[in-house]
Structure 1
Amino acid sequence: MNLSAAGPIAPMGGHQMMVFVTLIALLLGTALALGGLARRFGLPSVIGELCAGVLVGPSVVGHLTPELSSWLRLDQAAQLHLVDAVGYLGVLLLVGVTGIGVDVGLLRRRAGMTLWVSATALVIPLVCGVAVGFVLPLEIVGAGADRVSFAAFVGVALCVSAVPVIAKTLLDLRLLHRDIGQLIIGSATVSDLVGWLLLSVVSAMATVGVRASNVLLPIALLAVALVVCMTVGRALVGRTLRAAVRTRDSGVVIATIVLLVFVFAAGTHALGLEAVLGALIGGVVIGSSKWLNREMLAPLRTFVTAVLAPLFFATAGLRMDLTALTRPEVLGTAGLVLVVAIAAKLAGAYLGARAARLGHWEAMALGAGLNARGAIEVIIAIVGLQLGVLSTAMYTVIVLVAIVTSLLAPPMLRRSVRHLEVTEEEVARGRWLGGAGHEHGGERGNDHRDDGDDQVRPMRAA
C-alpha cells in the first residue's frame, strides 16, 4: 500500500480520545483503589489490581450498567487493542526490571535445583491438564476442534506460570532479592520457555497437524535468540550503557534501559517467540553489565510498579464474563479445572524441589510462587479461542483460573516464606539491587527478629 498516495492518516477523533483517556483513568483509579484495599487487609496490591479489570469489564459494570460499558466501547476491538497496547508496554518494562534484578550467579550455582523444579512443575500440570481435557463435557469444546487438540490446549494452559505476575508479587512482598525469589523467577522462566514452545506445537496441531518442522523450528529459534542475546546483545548493551552513564544524566540512563528492553522484546517477537521472553532476557543482560548504575533505576522502578504494572493487570480481566458461570456445566468445569490447576502445579513444584534436596518450606514456597498463571494463561486462552479450539465458555474458565491462581499465590507464598531465615548474602543482594525495603525479607517489613521460632531456618538443602 502506498501511504503517500492515500494521503495523511487522520488523527484520533476528539470523542474517541476522551473515551480512551477516561477508560485508562477508570482502570488505573480502580486498580489503585483495590490495590490499596488489598494492602489494608495485609495482601499484596497485585490482588486488587487483578480484580480491577473484572470489575470494570462485562462481569460487573457491563452487567449492571450496560450503557456505561457501551460508552466506554468495551465491546469494540479497536478500543480493547488500544488498552492492551498500554498494558503491554507496562508488562514489558515490569519483566525487564525483574530481569535486571536476577542474580545470574546464584541461578548458575543452583542450575540443578532450577531445572528439577521447572521440569516437574511443568510436566505434572501438563499431564493432568490433558487428562482433564479428555473428560470435560463436549459443550465446552470449541466447535472447530477435535478432542485431542482441545485436551492439549488445556494441558498447556495449566502448565505455564506467569512471570509478570510472579515478578509483581515478589516485588510487593519484597522477596525478589531472596534466594527463594530468585529460584522462583528462574524456574518460572524455564517453564515458560517450554510452555511457549508447547503452545506453538498445539497451535500447529489445531491447524496443519503435527510435523517435525513445527516442533523443531521453535526450539531452533529459541536457541538462536539465546546465543545472539548473550553474545551480540551483551556487547551492544555494554557499549550503549557506557555511553549513557558517561552523560551523568539519570534521564538518559533510564531512557536507554527502556530502549534496550524494547529492542530485545522486538527481537524475540520477530523470531516468532513471545516479546515478554525478550524483555526478560534483555533485563538479565542489562543487570549483568558492569556499566549499570542501579541508583538511577529508582524512578523507573517506581513508575513501572506504581502505574504501568497496575494498568496491565487491570486489563487482564476486561474480556472475562463471569455471567457464563451461571450455567451448571460451565461452573462444574471451572471448579474441576481450578482444583486440578492448583493441586498439580503445587505438587509438581514441591516434588521437584524435594528431589533437588530443598526443605519442606522452600518447596512449599516454590509451589506457591509458580502457581500464578496470570496474563500468560490469558494469552493462551485467546489463541485457543481464535483458533476455534476453545469455546467462549472454556475461555472464561481458563481466564478465571488465571486470575484465581494469581490471587492465591501471594498469601500462600508469604505464609511459606515466614519460615525461611534471611541470610547475609540476601541482605547484601538487596542493597545491591537498590530497591527500597530490600534490606529485609518481605511484607510486614518481613522483619526477621529472633522471636524464638525454632521453625525459622535458612534456605538450604534438606
Structure 2
Amino acid sequence: MHAGMSTTEIFLIAMLLIFSVPYLIWRLFKTDYYAPLVVVQIIAGILLGPGVMGAIYPDYFAFVFNPTVIHSLNGIAWWSVMIFVMIAGIELDLKKAWEHRRESFITASLALGSPLVSGCIAAAGLLLYSGWIGPKAHTWQFVLGVGMACAVTALPILILLMEKLEVLRQPIGQRILRYASLDDVAIWGVLAIILLDWTRVGRQAAFLIGFAVATFLFRKLMIWLEEKDRWYVSLIWLAACSLAADWAGLHFMVGAFLAGAVMDAHWFNQEKMDFLRHNVLLVIMPVYFLSTGLKTNWAVGGTVVFAAAAVLLVASIIGKLAGVHIAGKILKWEKGEASIIGWLLQTKALIMIIFVNILLDKQIITSETFTALLLMAIASTMLTVPVVYPKLQRLKSLIFKTK
C-alpha cells in the first residue's frame, strides 16, 4: 500500500497527524490550564519527531516524513513563522516604554541581564562535555546564544497567557508588555551580533545601509496607502527584508523581525491584527512546530538531554526571578508584585524556539542542545499559569494597581 501512495497523499497524512494529534491531546486531557493548545502543538511536534515516533515506528516515520515531504513542510513552516515574527515586531510598544522609561528600562535590563548571566554560566558548564557546541560556533557565540535563550521572554505567548489570566488589559499587564517589548528588541540585537560573519561583513553593512534607506521610503509609502493596501504591501516588504537579511548572512528571521519592527501598529486595525495572529497560529504555525520537532535529537542519551534541560530551566527561572526582584527593590514595588511579574516574564515557548532554531540552522548549537533548550522552553511555559494564578488570587489589588 505504501509503495502505491503518491507524494501528495503522504504529505496529507503528515498534515493529518500535525493537526489531529495535538488537538486530541488538548481536548481529551483538558490541558488548557497547564498548556494551551499552542504549547501542546509544540509537544506534539516532539512526539511526532525522530526521538519518539521515529524510535517506536522507524519504518512508518521514514515513510511519512521522507525528504520530499519534509521539504514541502519546511516551506510552509518558514512562511508561517516569518509572518508571526513580523506581527511580533509590529506590536512592540516602544513609545509606552519611553513614556515610563526609568521603570521600564530598569526592569527590562535586570529581567534580561540576570538570566543571561545565569544562562551563560550553565552554557559554560555544558562546554565541559562534548556534543553540545555546534561545529561552526566560536565559544563566545555558544555561551551567549544559550545564555540569551535562557533570558528570552516569548511576547506572543505571554499575551495569550495574560489573556487567560484576565490581566492583559489591566495596568499590571500593560507594564509587563512594556518590559517584554524592550527585551524583545535586545534579543534580536544580540542575535544579530552572534550571527555577524566577518567573511561577509561587506554584505551585512550593505544590508544595513540599504535597509535604512528602504525603511524611510517604505514608511512614506505606507502612510500614503489606505489600510487595505497596507496589509498586502506589508507581505511584500516581509519577503524582501527576509531575503535581503538571509543574503547578508543574518538569517531570514532577523529580516522578518526588522520588517515588522519598523511598521507602526496604528497603521493597522488592532482587531484585524489579533485575528491575523490567531489564524496564523491556528492554520499554519502547527506545521512549524512539527518541523521543529523533527530537529530534536537524543543521540547523547535521553537522560543526559533531560538533565541538561533541567539545569537550563533552573538557570532561566532563578535568573529571571532574581533580576525582577532586584528591580522591585529599586522601584519599591509592593510585596508579591515582583514574583508575579517575574514568573510571567519567564514564559518562553515560541520566540525562544524561533531563536534556537536559528542557532541550530547556523550550527552554533547541536541538535542535542536544541532538544534540551526546547524541553526547557516547554517546561517554563507550562509552569507559568499554575504558579501565577494562585498568586493573583491572593493579591487581586495588584491587578488594578497603576504605576
Q: Using structure 1 for the length normalisation, give the TM-score.
A: 0.69
Alignment CA distance shift 1:332-1:309 (3 Å): closer
* Structure 1 residue 69 displacement after superposition: 1.0
2:89–2:258 contact (8 Å) kept in structure 1: no
1:92–1:279 contact (8 Å) kept in structure 2: no
* Structure 1 residue 458 displacement after superposition: 2.0
Q: Does 1:267 align with 2:241?
A: yes
Residue correspondence of structure 1 range 293-304 to structure 2 within 5 A: 293-294=269-270, 300=276, 302-304=278-280
Distance in 1 (alpha carbons) for counterparts of 2:232 and 2:335 = 39
Q: Does 1:52 align with 2:44?
A: yes
Alignment CA distance shift 1:302-1:22 (3 Å): same
Equivalent residue for 1:347? 322
2:172–2:398 contact (8 Å) kept in structure 1: no
Q: Does 1:83 align with 2:83?
A: no
Alignment CA distance shift 1:305-1:151 (3 Å): closer
Gaps (5+ residues) in structure 2? none
* Structure 1 residue 141 displacement after superposition: 3.9
Equivalent residue for 1:180? 172
Q: Does 1:374 align with 2:349?
A: yes
Equivalent residue for 1:247? none
Alignment CA distance shift 1:85-1:113 (3 Å): farther
Gaps (5+ residues) in structure 1? 1-13, 245-252, 422-454
2:295–2:367 contact (8 Å) kept in structure 1: no
Q: Does 1:237 align with 2:222?
A: yes
Pick which of 140-149 and 361-370 moved more.
140-149
* Structure 1 residue 174 displacement after superposition: 5.1
* Structure 1 residue 397 displacement after superposition: 1.5
1:120–1:349 contact (8 Å) kept in structure 2: yes
Distance in 2 (alpha carbons) for counterparts of 1:98 and 1:267 = 15
* Structure 1 residue 99 displacement after superposition: 6.2
Alignment CA distance shift 1:81-1:358 (3 Å): farther
Of residues 115, 118, 131, the one that matches 1:128 is 118
Alignment CA distance shift 1:175-1:60 (3 Å): farther
2:309–2:376 contact (8 Å) kept in structure 1: yes
Matched residue type, 1:152: L
Equivalent residue for 1:193? 185
Of residues 17, 21, 42, the one that matches 1:26 is 17
The share of aligned pairs that are identical, in percent, is 22
Matched residue type, 1:42: Y
Of residues 277, 284, 294, the one that matches 1:308 is 284
Larger RCO, structure (CA 8 Å, separation 6 or more): 2
Q: Does 1:320 align with 2:296?
A: yes
Cα-to-partner distance string for 1:341-392 (whole Å, 9 max, x where unaligned): 2211232234335434444444333322322332443344344445554334
Distance in 1 (alpha carbons) for counterparts of 2:400 and 2:324 = 19
Q: Does 1:459 align with 2:401?
A: yes
Alignment CA distance shift 1:170-1:227 (3 Å): farther
Matched residue type, 1:316: T
2:108–2:180 contact (8 Å) kept in structure 1: yes
2:86–2:238 contact (8 Å) kept in structure 1: no
Alignment CA distance shift 1:317-1:346 (3 Å): farther
Of residues 285, 292, 307, the one that matches 1:332 is 307
Cα-to-partner distance string for 1:210-259 (whole Å, 9 max, x where unaligned): x9x79xx78x9779968975x654443333235x3xxxxxxxx7xx5254
Q: Does 1:257 align with 2:231?
A: yes
Q: Does 1:363 align with 2:341?
A: no
Q: Does 1:111 align with 2:101?
A: yes
Matched residue type, 2:45: G
* Structure 1 residue 52 displacement after superposition: 1.5
1:93–1:258 contact (8 Å) kept in structure 2: no
Distance in 2 (alpha carbons) for counterparts of 1:67 and 1:183 = 51
Q: Report which of the two structures shows the higher radius of gyration computed on alpha carbons.
A: 1
Alignment CA distance shift 1:173-1:23 (3 Å): farther
Alignment CA distance shift 1:305-1:175 (3 Å): farther
What is the number of residues matched between the two proteins? 390
RMSD across aligned C-alpha pairs, in angstroms?
A: 3.9
Equivalent residue for 1:15? 6
* Structure 1 residue 293 displacement after superposition: 4.6
Of residues 148, 155, 171, the one that matches 1:163 is 155
Distance in 2 (alpha carbons) for counterparts of 1:222 and 1:348 = 33
Distance in 2 (alpha carbons) for counterparts of 1:352 and 1:265 = 39
Distance in 1 (alpha carbons) for counterparts of 2:29 and 2:236 = 31
Equivalent residue for 1:412? 387
* Structure 1 residue 339 displacement after superposition: 1.1
* Structure 1 residue 71 displacement after superposition: 1.3
* Structure 1 residue 456 displacement after superposition: 5.5
Of residues 258, 261, 281, the one that matches 2:261 is 281
Distance in 1 (alpha carbons) for counterparts of 2:13 and 2:238 = 32
Cα-to-partner distance string for 1:184-216 (whole Å, 9 max, x where unaligned): 333333223222332333344xx759x9x79xx
Distance in 2 (alpha carbons) for counterparts of 1:265 and 1:360 = 47
2:97–2:104 contact (8 Å) kept in structure 1: yes
